[in-house]
Chain A
Amino acid sequence: MSVAGIDAVSAILLIPAAAAAVLALLPDYRTGSRINVGAALLTLAAALSLFWNRPPVGRYLLVDDLNIVFIVLTTFVGFTTSVFSASYIAHELKTGRLTPTYLRFYHAMYQVLMFAMNLALVANNIGLMWVAIELATLTTVLMVGIYRTHEALEAAWKYFILGSVGIALALFGTILVYMAARPTVGEGLDAMVWTHLVARAAGFDPALLNLAFVFLLLGYGTKVGLAPLHAWLPDAHAEGPTPISAVLSGLLLNVALYALLRFKMLLAANPAALSPGPLMVILGLVSLVFASFMLYRRRDIKRMFAYSSIEHMGVITFAFGMGGPLANFAGLLHMTMHSLTKSAIFFAVGHIAQIKGTQKIADIGGLTETHPVLGWGLVLGVIAIAGLPPLGIFMSEFLVVSSTFAREPLLAIPLVFGLLVGFGALLLRLGGLAFGEPRGATGVAEASYGPMFAHLALVLCAGVYLPGPVVAWFQNVARLLG
């Protein structure tokens, strides 16, 4: 059993790595996109098999209740996005925005990204985790700049510089954790193994841990997109290919958040260290309120949804910062739902932007009339992301807001305020996009609706009914997070 388990973990790393190598060599983009989908599907299958075969904890790799949530989510969205990407990329090729060479590069990079994210998730070593996240960052930098336009390059550049600083800060934090752990755990690799760290964190030097957390919070927080470290995020989302926007919002932000959570657990295990909650709560609230206001003046549809990702990352960070079984549960649920919903929105937006030939909100209108399926899909997605029932985000927002208000009424006020302001902005734009006189081109959509509606169906289902095992599992994780 353990052999099979190790196999499963290796599989979720090896399959993308191998696929990346193959794709880099394969000239035909059609086969490439098929292989991409196939590899993603295989990875998903391997990830699912982790449920039955959980490998023992190693010094490098770890699968526990916490990261299995993330792994399954990542591989699932990775798979659906690859399906979406297949139809999306074909259109890009047709309009000449990408050449087959770039497509080869794109597919290879896609799998490298998958590899990096999976690695970050299963890493039991904080150094390895750092390396994986940085790899993921660099990969996405390349993908964001793939269109080679001024805007794309500029976005990639901004992402690159800010990301590099974030990388550096996170590394400093990692070193500090090592320094804190060394006296207790001993020199060498052991002092970077997370399971060892968390088991003995009580004996660490609290001052070093605090300092480490500050750096990690800012370093990984840059990746999460928390304000005021968010600046790369909107442009990277707006200028890159839409599948990458979907993966960025749906997955990479989560992966960075996952890293933060790991360190939060570390700090929580040391009673003398400062409690990480308030810092996360403050950053979360700042991000939420800031992003909500930023939504109002957006003219680019993808950039708008990128800001909405910042907003939701703020909510999730806030929830985890609050802690406690309800808020943690809500945070996990919110993260899952946000991943699914936001990627679904980007699927819709990608096709819309292709049909209309523009990402300018002002040039898009009346979608429910001209493209009912896409239009209503977008409406449903925005409604979901705005936190309206019966979709899943409502449940998590319900839990976050109500539990916060019962515990810290004063914190709930800015939370509710931010949510409301963001809601108003999203709805305002939705009114123009989906309703009113049709604007812009009305060509036929060559879209694959499957991924979008699969995500929305899951979100809808989760809003009304969560299966018992999922709940038990989330609750368990919530307890782990403390």
Chain B
Amino acid sequence: MPLTIALLCVPALLGTSLLALVVRRSPQGYRAVYGISLAVSLLGLFAALSQLLAGAEPSHTVLPLGLPWLGAHLRIDALAAWFLLIANLGGAAASLFALGYGAHEPAPQRVLPFYPAFLAGMTLVVLADDAFTFLLSWECMSLASWALVMAHHRERDNRHAGYVYLVMASFGTLTLLLAFGLLAGAQGGYAFETIRAAPPAPLFASLVLILALLGAGSKAGLVPLHVWLPLAHPAAPSHVSALMSGVMTKVAIYGFVRIVFDLAGAPAWWWSMLVLALAGVTTVMGVLYALMQSDLKRLLAYSTVENVGIVYLGLGLALAFKAQGMAWAAALAMTAALLHGLNHCVFKSLLFFGAGAVLHAAGERDMERLGGLIHRMPQTAFAFLVGCVAISALPPLNGFVSEWLTFQAVLLSPELQSWGLKLLVPGAGALLALSAALAAACFVRAFGVTFLGRARSPAAERAHETDRFSRAAMFACAAICLVVGILPGLFIDALAPAVAQLVGDRMPVQTVAGWQTIVPIVEGRSSYNGLLVFVFMTAAASLTAYAIHRVASDRVRRGPAWDCGFPDPSPATQYSATSFAQPIRRVFGTVVFRARERVEMPPPGSPAPARLSVSLQDLVWDGLYAPVAAGVGRAADRLNHLQFLTIRRYLSLVFVALVALLLVLAIWP
């Protein structure tokens, strides 16, 4: 039943795409499209929940589509249902947001037809149960999102973003294709059941892991395959950015989990090392990149890279534990990873919505030209703040819960046998800790520079609060952040079947522990109670406030800022996004980005201004992508001479080919 409902969503969404083609230019057309998308997403959400909460058996169906002799295999199990939940939750939120935000879209005809198709693609990836359907919907998802990235195609950067994006997506698809080729074997057993029944030989399985890491990792944004992500995500309209960051990366993670945990058979001990190493680098690099950005949406995109790293860290740990036969520990790590997937979906959507609202209100994404928006858009500011707290992994919100679980999983790693892992896992743990702290710094900066202080440009001064649909979407996300943060046990239990399916064990039942405490292993070892922490903090804060206001003083006087006695009226004297990041840039950036500061001080007496210029290098781009691009360019240039030969030379080519083949014949045994 849930499968049928979920499957119905797909044609419904595709139908909406067609509808969008019809209404694309009518002024209210967007409401119809996003309204239907919202309804369908809610339906999909219902399907996912009913599968998860009922703990239903996996159901399976075959449609006469796709590869002809195979058909389109579709299946919903607990894992699929969990990601279906994420996809449709994100989809519903984005649709709700777009009900308001869509009105500001300058080129609706370039957004509306692709938006439902994008949702449909993501839904279908999760449901696919054979390699062809999987890759088909995977690539449709990329394609639809590419079209959305190209919505504002007149800007050169967006076109570049779209290009890099689609090439990387294609790279990912091709590597996944290779992986499936190995899994399916020469006979072409592309159905997942067939693959499950006959897992590949260990060597092939290892190759599959590497390919899956490349393929799904490039979609998810693992460093160094992430380069497209910070270009493409910000280029799309904000609700689409939210979907891309919040949902599509999760769908990519789903692909990785499905292939590596479900299809590739028993993991080898060293697989996790690869995953953990990449994940550790990704978390820290992602957040450091984010700290260096002054474009709000790009900052959010880089922070997505970081969070994907955190999820992969959990997955890597799960892989390590699974390989060592410690299913109970693997269950903890897997739960952490999957829960973080949901959490990131929610708060990143929220943050992108906020960024969209800001972009619309102030017409500006550059934080250096924003500021003081908390006065003009208080509700957006509040919701955005909730998102910032959540993503910074601070209690009592949801981000903390999943990171806490990940830490707990890291703490189980001394039980691992392998020496390599013994050394690697603490390092990964340290990187995770570092990234958590840096993320907090990053979002203090994001919120502080954008919403606090004084407006840095006239546009920011004229900003206004956003519409009610947008606010509703943001507050809904914020509410979910809080709910998951204070009642994580419910979600961990809902996840349990998916985890059990993947690693063969589940975390202890959480809801039996009193007061909604979550207990990863046993109570004496570690526990956390978001509800109590939340209640304590709220009670303490409000009681204190009440007491002080009643007993001591509640008088307030407004006056000019003190600022050590030297307040400067110009908003330019505030700390900017760049200056805020300066200490961290000095500490980390000199190594990671080759950050250099150059000061040009005019000689005494000269009226010329002093200048400070900062240069950053993207070592991943410069070291990996630029050489590849240059190499392709050089090869193309070299080969291009072949377009300008004389007929005689072309004949010589034919001649040489002939002689070569004859030589082959001559020496053929």
Contacts and interface: CB of A to CB of B under 8 A. Distances in A.
- A/B contact in complex, CB under 8 angstroms: yes
Interface of A: 157-158, 161-162, 165-166, 169, 207, 210-211, 214-215, 217-218, 222, 228-229, 231-232, 234, 274, 279, 290, 293-297, 324, 326, 366, 368, 383, 386-390, 394-395, 397-399, 401-407, 409, 412, 416, 419-421, 423-425, 427-428, 431, 435-437, 463-466, 468, 471, 475
Interface string B11-30: 00000000000000000000
Interface string B635-669: 11101101101010011011011100110010010
6 contacts: A165-B654, A214-B658, A296-B640, A464-B65, A464-B66, A471-B68
Interface in B98-147: 110, 131-132, 135-137, 139-140, 142-143
Contacts of A427: 163, 166-167
Smallest CB-CB A-B distances: 3 pairs: A402-B181, A405-B181, A296-B636
B614 interface: no
Contacts of A425: 636
A165 to B, nearest CB: 6
B178 A389 contact: no
Given A388-B170, A402-B178, A436 B665 contact: no
Given A218-B657, A407-B186, A435-B159, A293 B177 contact: no
Contacts of A394: 136, 139
B499 interface: no
B256 interface: no
Contacts of A218: 654, 657-658, 661
A437 B131 CA distance: 39
A158 B185 contact: no
Given A229-B657, A419-B174, A464-B65, A274 B650 contact: no
A296 B634 CA distance: 10
B596 interface: no
B188 interface: yes
B643 A229 contact: no
Q: Tell me if A's interface is mostly helix, strand, loop or mixed.
A: helix
Contacts of A409: 182, 207
Given A215-B658, A231-B645, 17 more contacts: A158-B647, A158-B650, A162-B654, A228-B657, A290-B639, A293-B636, A388-B170, A389-B139, A403-B188, A406-B182, A406-B185, A420-B170, A424-B167, A463-B136, A464-B65, A464-B66, A465-B66
Given A389-B135, A389-B139, A231 B188 contact: no
Contacts of B662: 211, 214
Contacts of A162: 647, 650-651, 654
B180 interface: yes
A222 B658 CA distance: 12
Q: Tell me if B's interface is mostly helix, strand, loop or mixed.
A: helix
B269 interface: no
B64 interface: yes
Contacts of B665: 207, 210-211, 214, 274
Contacts of A405: 177-178, 181-182
A297 B647 contact: no
Contact of B186 (A383, A403, A471): A403
B562 interface: no
Nearest to B633: A296
A178 to B, nearest CB: 18
Contacts of B142: 388
B136 A420 contact: no
B619 interface: no
A249 to B, nearest CB: 18
B163 A389 contact: no
A229 B181 CA distance: 32
Interface residues of B, number: 62
B601 interface: no
A421 B632 contact: yes
Contacts of B139: 388-389, 394
Contacts of B382: none
B150 interface: yes
A293 B635 contact: yes
Interface string B53-70: 000000000001111110
B171 interface: yes
Nearest to B155: A436
B154 interface: yes
B232 to A, nearest CB: 13
Contacts of A406: 181-182, 184-186, 188
Interface of B: 64-69, 110, 131-132, 135-137, 139-140, 142-143, 150, 153-154, 156, 159, 162-163, 166-167, 170-171, 174-175, 177-178, 180-182, 184-186, 188, 190, 207, 632-633, 635-637, 639-640, 642-643, 645, 647, 650-651, 653-654, 656-658, 661-662, 665, 668
A475 B188 CA distance: 14
Given A162-B654, A231-B645, A217 B140 contact: no
Contact of B639 (A294, A383, A424, A435): A294
A471 B471 CA distance: 52
Contacts of B159: 431, 435-436
Given A388-B170, A420-B170, A437-B154, A401 B178 contact: yes
A191 B380 CA distance: 84
A436 B154 contact: yes
Contacts of B66: 464-465
A482 B186 CA distance: 15
B639 A293 contact: yes
A279 B651 contact: no
A39 B27 CA distance: 48
A388 B67 CA distance: 15
A431 B163 CA distance: 7
A387 B166 CA distance: 12
A465 B668 CA distance: 44
B214 to A, nearest CB: 11
A157 to B, nearest CB: 8
A15 B136 CA distance: 42
A165 B635 CA distance: 29
Q: Find the residue from A217, A293, A407, A437 having the highest chain B CB count within 10 A.
A: A293
A423 B170 contact: yes
Contact of B153 (A165, A231, A368, A423): A368
B113 to A, nearest CB: 10
Nearest to A462: B68
A419 B173 CA distance: 12
Contacts of A383: 143
Contacts of A428: 163
Nearest to B174: A416
Contacts of B162: 431, 435
A398 B658 contact: no
Contacts of A166: 654
A389 B140 contact: yes
A79 B635 CA distance: 40
Nearest to A274: B668
Contact of B640 (A297, A420, A463): A297
Nearest to B162: A431
Nearest to A464: B65
A294 B640 contact: yes
Given A412-B178, A420-B171, A231 B653 contact: yes
A326 B174 CA distance: 18
B136 A390 contact: yes
Given A210-B665, A420-B174, A424-B632, A229 B153 contact: no
Nearest to B658: A218
B184 A402 contact: yes
A296 B170 CA distance: 17
A475 B135 CA distance: 23
A425 B135 CA distance: 22
Given A228-B654, A228-B657, A405-B178, A468 B153 contact: no
A409 B183 CA distance: 12
Contact of A296 (B143, B632, B661): B632
A482 to B, nearest CB: 15
A471 B175 CA distance: 27
Q: Find the residue from B64, B153, B657 having the highest chain A CB count within 10 A.
A: B657
